[in-house]
Chains A and B, each alone.
Chain A
Amino acid sequence: AQSVTQPDIHITVSEGASLELRCNYSYGATPYLFWYVQSPGQGLQLLLKYFSGDTLVQGIKGFEAEFKRSQSSFNLRKPSVHWSDAAEYFCAVVMEYGNKLVFGAGTILRVKS
């Protein structure tokens, strides 16, 4: 069965530092890949998506993610973190032409000043 692994439950970074959140998936074929962010008490906001083509995708709020087929990974990055980035980040996948999103467990990002 398909699964998504986010190995880091919590990450703390200093404001202005770079960030990388890891995501690995287990899937028979290349799925469509997404990153969502959830601020406390808020819904899930789509940060970026990968369907095909260029393996480095740009998203909102200065985030980017790189798809690496050989590693079954889709890591999220940001060169300089702002305090407002503190939130929980979810990686999710859906099969091509599929319906349901399968989510990872999430990574809680804390930003220290």
Chain B
Amino acid sequence: EPEVTQTPSHQVTQMGQEVILRCVPISNHLYFYWYRQILGQKVEFLVSFYNNEISEKSEIFDDQFSVERPDGSNFTLKIRSTKLEDSAMYFCASSRDRGSEQYFGPGTRLTVT
């Protein structure tokens, strides 16, 4: 069964450093998403991506964040200068169509020290 994969599973970085979180969505899906879950809090939407551009983003997704689909399979989330409050579990998801069910990866736990 096809699944969304994410690497790394855990990333530790120092405040101010750049991080790139990687995702491989399900191959025939067209919509891609990033969500995050701060420990003890709700899962929050960050951004959606379709046809090589951002289709929607939340207020959390400020200029420190960017997304890219560098090739036909990978989908990345970059945080330019990490802050302590960026520590969270980051989930990638993909869906076949707009509004259809989203399938999630196992997440990357980002720890900013």
Contact = CB atoms under 8 A, between A and B. Distances in A.
Interface residues of A, number: 24
A34 B104 CA distance: 13
B9 to A, nearest CB: 9
Contacts of B48: 99-100
Most A-side CB within 10 Å, residue of B4, B35, B58, B102: B102
B104 A36 contact: yes
Nearest to A100: B45
A103 B46 CA distance: 12
Interface stretch (A17-25, A63-71, A89-97): A89-97
Chain B binding site: helix, strand, loop or mixed by DSSP? strand
Contacts, number: 55
A106 B58 CA distance: 20
A28 interface: no
Contacts of B102: 46, 101
Interface residues of B, number: 24
Given A104-B42, A105-B42, A99 B98 contact: yes
B55 interface: yes
Nearest to B31: A99
A100 B33 contact: yes
A46 B4 CA distance: 13
Contacts of B41: 105
A44 B43 contact: yes
Contacts of B42: 103-106
Contacts of B33: 99-101
A101 B106 contact: no
A36 B101 CA distance: 11
Given A103-B42, A103-B43, A43 B99 contact: no
10 contacts: A36-B104, A43-B4, A43-B107, A44-B43, A44-B104, A46-B103, A49-B101, A97-B99, A105-B42, A106-B42
8 cross-chain pairs, A with B, having the tightest CB-CB distances, nearest first: A100-B45, A43-B106, A44-B104, A103-B43, A99-B48, A99-B56, A43-B104, A97-B99
